[in-house]
Amino acid sequence: MSQVFGVDVTTEDIIETLSFFDSWEERYKYIIDLGKELPAIDESLKVDEHLVRGCQSQVWLVPEVEPDHLTFQVDSDAHIVKGLLAVVLAAFNGKSAQSILDFDVENYFNQLDLVRHLSPTRGNGLRAMVQKIKDTAQSIQ
């Protein structure tokens, strides 16, 4: 059974686990492994409407609006990006729109020491993923 990011795997879990690794090579491997735990999305959902603009790789983010929370199906054609999606989902998946809007994602990324270890295009893509999630949350407020 796969773990649900944001429920079974939290931001605290990821911060704590990454802190155990001494090198960024080990941290990247862990992030890639997180991406491998994401459930596959149906090919029919890989359409332009769900593409995240601003990402170097192809990234699909499919929001599902529930009465009290949002969930997201995600996928990418790049392993490291799938891992980054898992890191993002740990923060936002299964949360209320208000919780998503209130979450200090910059502080989270700073605790992970992540952005400075990504290429500028990957960093921009990471922020584009977050922005798409926050835009979805804002649209249902």
- What is the set of active-site residues? 55
Gap between the Cα atoms of 123 and 101, Å rounded: 20
DSSP helix/strand/coil, 40: coil
Task: Give the C-alpha distances (Å, rounded to integers) separating 122 from 6, 33, 77, 126.
Answer: 22, 18, 13, 6
Spatial separation of the C-alpha atoms in residues 67 and 118, rounded to whole Å: 36
Angle, CA of 62, 65 and 70, to the nearest 5°:
80
Backbone φ and ψ of 64, nearest 5°: -125, 115
| CB 38, CB 74: distance < 8 Å | yes
